Structure 1
Amino acid sequence: LKAGKMSDVLDVYDAEVKANASALYDICEKINPFLADMACLAEKGFCMLKDCIEKGLDLEKPNEEAVARHLFHIFHLMDSFRHVKRRAICNQYFNHVCAIMDSLPALTWMSVESNPVAFIQDIIEIAKFYTDRILKEFSQKEDALHVQFVEQWLKTLESLKAFVQKYYANGFTWKKVLPGLSNCDTTDFEVFDIPLPPPPPPPVSLSSKCKKSVEDIRQELFAQINKGLDITKGLKKVTPDMQVHKNPSLRTATPVCKPAVAAKPAHLTKNLPSAKKDTTKPPVLTCDDKKWLIENHVDNKDIKIEITDMKQVMYIYRCENCVIVVKGKLNSIALDSCKKTSLLFDNIVSSLEIINCQKMQIQTMGTMPTLVLQKTDGCMVYLSKEALNCEVITSKTSEINLLIPTEDGEFEERCVPEQFKTVWSGTALKTTPSEIA
């Protein structure tokens, strides 16, 4: 390409490809700052591609290794995205990140010798796998920004494909030879001046002793085996003066000591931070809208809550050796990771959930339709007469006891089975509590 045509190619790239990548950033900035950062990195990738095209138009076609060095910054950007993708696996915009990250290989089309357009089209199909997920996830939320994100990113990739189709349908056109660089010297070609790793160490020369053939070694081995008992004749004889039980002076000899271990430098041992950090969090007792939060209380025997709306729910987390009293009717209560904590409440509309707790005491003064216990060891549940029809659901639990009220005002203790027996009836599995449970 001549200088004028070269400038035209780069201008078309800026107007049709790079501009679309910039527009994607504007949309992502309205959705979420994290997603805007991802779009910014993608835009940098398109800028890197323009730089590679501009430099490549002045270079003779290099070999595969030199092409990889030519596109080094793009490959490095793709590696950075892979790390972000692993960290964002639980992020609500994970599909957005995948749609961008898994499309970045399209920026390496210069390394495809023939039909780079088909290569880019394959990448677009991969991107559509994630963009379809985005449309499905956010279609019901009526959020137009996510639809715009999908349309703009696919438009960016399509514009890149159209650009390559127009100018480099049969592969990138490398141009002239660099001064002093012949065809056989292209392995030394570097665009970004990236230092290559040092060459491997020279092979270790084998000594003359190690140059024996396998057959010679095998013959020497069999020769030693054939000696039989005579093979011990080469051993040095142990005389009486070398034996401890016949030479008492050996017992008083100074034992061979292990070499002293050098002390660590002072800068490695002085003022080392403690390995364990104090992870204690401040206690929380608050009501956010319709959700009560009770967290991180220790040795607090006077936690009292007045419920004003039966739609309220309560979440109790990491409380130890506490007493919690709830007055009024609420929707549900959940206890998570608590230990040695007592809970007394009036009425529950839905359910009480106890998860990952130890040595708990629960008492209901009114209704409790459902009781769910998961990963809990040790729980005493005092039922009221109104809660006798409660459904108890357990999984991975032990030492769960229900206390049933009697006519004389006392409680009768019943254990929830921990072991079960399962048999095949011919048509289905039947599970019953084990008799020893």
Structure 2
Amino acid sequence: MDEKLIQRLESAIARLESLSPGSKPPSGTLDAVSAASEPSIVAYDDLLVEYVVKVSLAAEKIGGQVHDITIVLSQAFATQKELLMKIKQTQKPDGGGMTEFLKPLNDKLAQANNMSEGKRSDFFNHLKAASESLSALIWIAYTGKGCGKQKLLLLTSYFPIFNINLASKQQLFALIFSGMSMPIGHVEECWQSAEFYNNKVLVEYKNKDPYHVEWAKALKELYVPGLRDYVKAHYPLGPLWSTTGAVVSAPKSAQPSAPNPPSASLANLASSSSSRPKQGQGMAAVFQEISSKPVTSGLRKVTDDMKTKNRKDRAGFVSSGENEVQKSAPKTAAKTGPPKLELVMGRKWVVENQIGVKDLLIDDCDPKQTVYIFGCKDSVLQIKGKVNNITVDKCTKMGVLFTDVVAAFETVNCSSIEVQCQGAAPTISIDNTAGCQLYLSRESLETSITTAKATEVNVMVPSSDPDADLAEHPLPQQYIHTYQDGNFVTNPVSHSGG
């Protein structure tokens, strides 16, 4: 608190000195000092000290990738402070100018997004929580109703729409029709998207490492109530731009250039220009030119050797020669990579690229180890013993049979998988999965099942009669949202037999 008080005193002294008759610093210095002493900027400094520093201190205890992305998060918040100060000296720009103005902030968001992409690491949920939450800072682009397209332009300028995940695509496309939410609502919506991954961190490290729990709780407090209350107090209707300040416009290099004209030879150009009817003669000249020439003029004669039935290189059926098979096989192997089933550094079982193997087995494991299954197809893996966490990523027609899991079992980006829990599992997460058959034992009936973008999920549980078959329970994938008493009430869709 002493350092903050000293900074405020220095700002006040600098402002008083600027008002004295004997000193006239440049106008830019005056504007910067005045902006720094604004109540909204002072409150933003308090936000950085109270919440951002707390997240940074927790990340330093963890280190590694968590510390790296937290540094980017801190830089993004510091960049937004600089933009808030510039807003007071800048006129409200148009779409292209807004993109140029917010470029420093969008660069930080793009950096965080790149750190969370690629092959999953042990801190995948940390990286996704931080990168997803940073989109809340785009509240600064709110300029009123109907600015959804402007926000879409800002995001897609630095996140190519075909290189982002399905959830982000759906959010971007929805913006075209719904528009951007007001600043307070935007911050809350973005945190709800990030909270899915933040809760996974809390569940995984609840009884494992308090530093990770501290980081996850600090990250949540940064946005709710931190950033949300700050925006509510100072910018509920968006930033207040200057009416006489500088003007920001898009650079000329950013404007799209006209496509190159198709190449054409001089002979083709000459023939086309000579055959083109003269301007002013209308359609009568066109029909006159057509009727003056034979219908088949200009067509080439097709000889017998040019016909498809007589060409040896165009046989009319799909060839299945050995040469083609040998050429295509190495390409498939290069894409999938070599199969793996190994223990990495004594703490992580890696099962990758197993195709058509029905007897995969892990029987030498302990509660401190994790299992990561990636890129497998038409295979079955059995895990005997208790492990900390099991993740199934980008697998097709995969069967997983496990005994006990300490933290959670999760599937992501999978299709047509079968999972059987013979013991206990506190949490089962099904994310972006199409077709999942889940078998629970009596010991795992109290598990918490979380689904997101999941379809055709069926849960099989033991019935009360030991001799009866398992009872099948399909989990709903369609919901009805109704507005009642000031709130939205969500219920699953039910279908009647009539």
Q: TM-score, normalised by structure 2?
A: 0.40
Structure with greater proportional helix content: 2
Q: TM-score, normalised by structure 1?
A: 0.45
